[in-house]
Structure 1
Amino acid sequence: AASNVSALIERLGLKDYDELLAFSNAQPGAYWRTVVDFCDIVWDTDYHTYADLSAGREFPRWFRGGELNWVRTALQWADDPATAQQDAVVAEREDGSVQRLSYSELAQRVASFAAGLKAQGVRRGDRVGLLMENGVEATVTLLGLAWLGAVAVPLFSGFGVDAIVSRLSSCSTRVLVATTGFSRRGRRVDTRKLVDEALTRLPDIDTVIWKHAGEPIEFGASVLDWQAVADAQPDLAPERMSPEDPFMVIYTSGTTGKPKGAVHTHGGFPLKIAHDSAVHFNVKQGDVFCWPADMGWIAGTLVLSSALLRGATLVCYDGAPDFPDWSRMSRLVERHRITHFGSAPTLIRGLAANEDIAMQGDVSTVRLLITAGEGIDP
């Protein structure tokens, strides 16, 4: 009775879920008008037509007449006294250290990073590679790029040189934001060496921004310190974007042929995720959402959007799920009182095979389990 879907049914004056499903199919324009209001989507200019099919159903144009930057919806909670000091992002490292940002702090950090990017010549429409372990910096980077109107190109942190080159070259990437390395099972994974090798084959990239742990790097006009960029004085509002403007090109895994770059827009992916987070995941303001996922796959952005667009807390983890032992995930749930937990079936099988250890943490706060990415065992 207290679910988001019940509230949506009531708002539309319908009787039950079957009526909601029928209404959404029969009157999609009216359905989505209610959804964007229900999900508190922030528009710079309201749209007048939900779907323009004048060029044929194969070439739809969505939310015609509207202008928005989806980051404004994710950061609107910073302007509400009830949520401004609520945790927006909680990032736990494999070594156990934890970083926290409130919605107010996240909004300031995103605005500063976007201003720093602009000062370095990054402009609307520029493609920017993103190769970082999940955490505060990756979250700020993705949101800062979208704020500026640039297009993020996320890369899996475990990619080799060829995979990095094939993706960044195919969409004419000009800037790369990368980590020099991260910890996995207590050992340092050196990504700087891979990136440096890839850059010798990527002549179009003229700027590299390093997130680093203090190792020696020769910074200059084209090699920048992530923290220095992020410390800029915020001086601009989010770019006003068309719903059809891209904010991300994310590539398929390449297991069934050449990787395909899927283009996601300000009026597409984020609005659908806001809908699915509300209707299917039942995420509400104050919930705590965790799905340990690399930013290089679609799940990374999906999880970020599912939490922040709904005013929930995003919990990130950048290490191995069984380190130092199989209780790591349940203890993560207990520490941060996670309400929504997502996992690939492979991890579920590992947890099931080590149940006695895996369930040592208190998981009583979890209301919803989500799985995706491959077939799950019965």
Structure 2
Amino acid sequence: MTDHTSKPSLEDVDEIVHEPGEEFVESTNVAEFMREYGIDDYDELIERTTTELEGEPESGIEWFWDELVEYLDIEFYEQYETVRDNSEGPQFTDWYPGGELNLAHNVVDRHAAVDEERRNKVATMWEGEDGDVREVTYHELHRQSNQVANALEERGVETGDTVGLYMPMVPEVVSILYGCFKAGAIAVPIFSGFGVDAAATRIADSACSVLFTGDGFYRRGSPIFLKSAADDAIAEAGHVEHTIVFDRLGSEARSAGEMRAESEAGRERSDSTAEHEIPWGDDRDEWWDDAVETQADEYESKSLDSSQESMLLYSSGTTGKPKGIVHTHAGVQVQCAKEVYFGMDLKPSDRFFWVSDIGWMMGPWTLIGTHTFGGTVFMYEGAPDHPQPDRFWEMIDRHKLTQFGISPTAIRALRKHGKRQTTSGEPSGSDGADDWLSGHDLSSLRILGSTGEPWDPESWRWFYENVGGGEAPIINISGGTEICGCFLMPMPIQPLKPCTLGGPGLGMDIDIVDPDGESIEDDHERGFLVARDSCPSMTKSLWSGDERYLEEYWSTFEDMWNHGDWAQKDEDGFWFLHGRADDALNVAGRKVGPAEVEGALIDHEAVNQAAAVGVPDDTTGTAVATYVILEDGHQVSDALREELRAKVGEELGKPFRPREVLFVDDLPKTQSGKIIRRAIEATYTGEELGDMSSIENPSALEGLEDAR
């Protein structure tokens, strides 16, 4: 990245690669919307839904978010009085005031209440890592969600109370989420891969009295035990009075009483029995079968104010305590539905798969968006490369999945897997992941999706050409937990350049500004991505209060939400992101984004993955340090190290040539595949790691310390 005040080059991504055919364009949901309202092209669509309307009493934003409710058939119990009240500014806009609704009504109740065909349609299709497959119909989901709501009320949960979901990725998490919505409880999803401290922080902050958890789940062929971590987190956090435990691993087969009796008798247990034993306390713990499945399966979802809190999602900050993001019933309902319907072009027969845990924003986003329209969500429990690197391709083929969303880092890892072995043990003839794709029919895929971080052009093209067959558009989106949706999102009717995010999402007033807050969007310069107005799903504050909320998002520019990303619109109107503005490496007064350094390294045939961080330097202020994972068949050497340093210097300029190139076997990542650069930087400099709650592979930190 060059200094943001100068004009950077976009040559690597300047070619239009995807050009949707006329027949496909005409078939899309967004094209139908445009025909309905007499909108001629994409530019007019964005202008109509995001800007002031000449001669109209309301803005395009107000028109769109009002019209959207009826157009998408989102049902309110009580009609709202006006689309919004922004008298206190965009920071505290009240959306759909006077209205009453319930998310659960729109995503499950109404589908289970109509004809037999709709009731018996599959709502969730789940596959465990061990190969188990389960399908849950809307009728079954409705029945079980009602049971969850009744179980919550039996345990004293009322409207506005928080309920924790520290759950394995099983179909029951959907029933728990929707059961919370029904009862007016605030669902608090907690990533199942979190350790004790991270889970405890969220339980303590949300003060949930009921926690749903499981005995464990499978990851890379081995059981991961969750209940003991939940117990330790509760001991650290307090608050929890009832723990409801789902039996994923078969632990319930040995009752708590039997385990206690054997312990008191001092009898030895076999290793296989001990493997499935979990800690138990009769005063707090209950099995799912006893606590939920015994409940009545009828429940009338509560009619709730539009601004009633629905979810508390946590976003890890660079330092300090994670941020509790507060979402409402109306906000996430309209945002998730809009994006899945228009951006991901959901059709009635689609099977929608986005790789995410329920503890991350994309989990609820996928469920709410797809189930609003009675669609089918595919869920997968385990690792992407278990038992082999073609697990995703095999599942897409076998289940005929139609939308597939994944992070760029995960694609980079899958793309560069080694050659498939033949039955004789010898590598097969073709190279890399293309070979793992061979033999799998991916023609069911209509739309590809990605989020989380910038792409490199080579990996984007590989995803588009090999997974999408050169036909499925990549809907590369960027927003965040704070809006449970996207600031930037291409529409499937658009042509695409590699790595682009298209443009602003529908109904999103997005801009690119310089440090003084002046728009530079049409100057094609790199600047700060901001929102000039609110949207219904924007967090109504932070759980900890308004002070941190205003400081985090509204303090940089007047009445503008600063999202913290570097953004740029090229001369053809395509928007791009260049990484986090606070991640920018300022070397001798010139700025470069970590993603650009990493992209230069990944372009080398020897490099599988890379991470770049800024470290203190006496001469330049900041120097670049890099960590590299090599491809199979390539060896660590000083010659390769110098070759990689030179390559970065050639592509980005000598000031950005890494001070060090260190070789590792793994990089610290979140469950969604993002590289945790601040952990790498802290390890390099010997500073405190800070909040590591999002890390999936803590052992990678030890590898950083031993890097060569």
On whether the aligned pair clears a TM of 0.5, the verdict is yes
2:318 and 2:363 map into 1 onto residues whose CA distance is 19
Give the conservation status (yes or no) of the 8 Å contact 1:42–1:70.
no
1:307 and 1:357 map into 2 onto residues whose CA distance is 30
1:243 aligns with 2:297: no
Matched residue SS, 2:118: coil
Query: Which structure has the greater CA radius of gyration?
Result: 2
Matched residue SS, 1:178: strand
Give the conservation status (yes or no) of the 8 Å contact 1:67–1:242.
yes
Aligned to 1:111: 146
1:55 aligns with 2:88: yes
Give the conservation status (yes or no) of the 8 Å contact 1:165–1:202.
yes
* 1:298-349 Cα distance to aligned partner (Å, 9 max, x none): 1111121222122210000011110000111011111211000010112111
The partner residue of 1:338 within 391, 395, 401 is 401
Aligned to 1:369: 448
Aligned to 2:206: 171
1:77 aligns with 2:123: no
1:157 and 1:338 map into 2 onto residues whose CA distance is 25
1:255 and 1:289 map into 2 onto residues whose CA distance is 32
1:209 aligns with 2:234: no
Give the length in aligned residue pairs: 378
Aligned to 1:6: 31
Greater Cα shift, 211-220 or 23-32 = 211-220
2:438 and 2:371 map into 1 onto residues whose CA distance is 28
Matched residue SS, 1:49: coil
* 1:136-181 Cα distance to aligned partner (Å, 9 max, x none): 1111111111111101111111111111111111122211111111
Matched residue SS, 1:248: strand
Greater Cα shift, 292-301 or 254-263 = 254-263
Aligned to 2:188: 153
1:156 and 1:34 map into 2 onto residues whose CA distance is 35
The offset of 1:100, in angstroms, is: 0.5
Aligned to 2:63: 30
Aligned to 2:352: 289
1:143 and 1:35 map into 2 onto residues whose CA distance is 23
* 1:91-143 Cα distance to aligned partner (Å, 9 max, x none): 10001011111112211111122112212222211111111122211111111
Aligned to 2:233: 198
Give the conservation status (yes or no) of the 8 Å contact 1:327–1:359.
no
The structure-2 alpha-carbon separation of the partners of 1:351 and 1:183, relative to structure 1 and needing over 3 Å to count, comes to same
2:301 and 2:325 map into 1 onto residues whose CA distance is 24
The structure-2 alpha-carbon separation of the partners of 1:334 and 1:126, relative to structure 1 and needing over 3 Å to count, comes to same
Greater Cα shift, 345-354 or 16-25 = 16-25
1:18 aligns with 2:18: no
2:392 and 2:224 map into 1 onto residues whose CA distance is 21
Give the conservation status (yes or no) of the 8 Å contact 2:215–2:251.
no
The structure-2 alpha-carbon separation of the partners of 1:122 and 1:5, relative to structure 1 and needing over 3 Å to count, comes to same
Q: CA RMSD in A?
A: 1.6
1:84 and 1:236 map into 2 onto residues whose CA distance is 17
Matched residue SS, 1:198: helix
Give the conservation status (yes or no) of the 8 Å contact 1:291–1:341.
yes
Return the structure number with greater relative CO, CA threshold 8 A, min gap 6: 1
Matched residue SS, 1:64: coil
Matched residue SS, 2:130: coil
Give the conservation status (yes or no) of the 8 Å contact 2:143–2:298.
no
The structure-2 alpha-carbon separation of the partners of 1:272 and 1:359, relative to structure 1 and needing over 3 Å to count, comes to farther
Greater Cα shift, 318-327 or 74-83 = 74-83
1:346 and 1:276 map into 2 onto residues whose CA distance is 23
Greater Cα shift, 303-312 or 263-272 = 303-312
Matched residue SS, 1:224: strand
Q: Which amino acid aligns with 2:76?
A: W
The offset of 1:44, in angstroms, is: 0.6
Greater Cα shift, 277-286 or 61-70 = 277-286
Aligned to 2:390: 327
Q: How high is the TM-score relative to the length of structure 1?
A: 0.95
Q: Percent identity?
A: 34
Give the conservation status (yes or no) of the 8 Å contact 1:129–1:154.
yes
Greater Cα shift, 114-123 or 188-197 = 114-123
Following TM superposition, the consecutive aligned residue runs of length 4 or more in structure 1 with deviations greater than 3 angstroms are 215-221, 254-257
Q: Which amino acid aligns with 2:38?
A: G
Q: What does residue range 97-108 of structure 1 map to in structure 2 within 5 Å?
A: 97-108=132-143
The partner residue of 2:285 within 220, 223, 239 is 223
1:244 and 1:310 map into 2 onto residues whose CA distance is 22
Q: Which amino acid aligns with 2:451?
A: A
The offset of 1:254, in angstroms, is: 4.0
Greater Cα shift, 219-228 or 73-82 = 219-228
Matched residue SS, 1:297: coil
1:331 and 1:255 map into 2 onto residues whose CA distance is 37
Aligned to 2:411: 348
The offset of 1:286, in angstroms, is: 2.2
1:196 and 1:222 map into 2 onto residues whose CA distance is 10
Matched residue SS, 1:374: coil
Greater Cα shift, 73-82 or 243-252 = 73-82
Matched residue SS, 2:405: strand
1:245 and 1:80 map into 2 onto residues whose CA distance is 27
1:7 and 1:79 map into 2 onto residues whose CA distance is 28
The partner residue of 1:140 within 153, 175, 181 is 175
2:43 and 2:112 map into 1 onto residues whose CA distance is 36
The offset of 1:29, in angstroms, is: 2.4
1:57 and 1:106 map into 2 onto residues whose CA distance is 37
The structure-2 alpha-carbon separation of the partners of 1:19 and 1:154, relative to structure 1 and needing over 3 Å to count, comes to same
1:11 and 1:227 map into 2 onto residues whose CA distance is 49
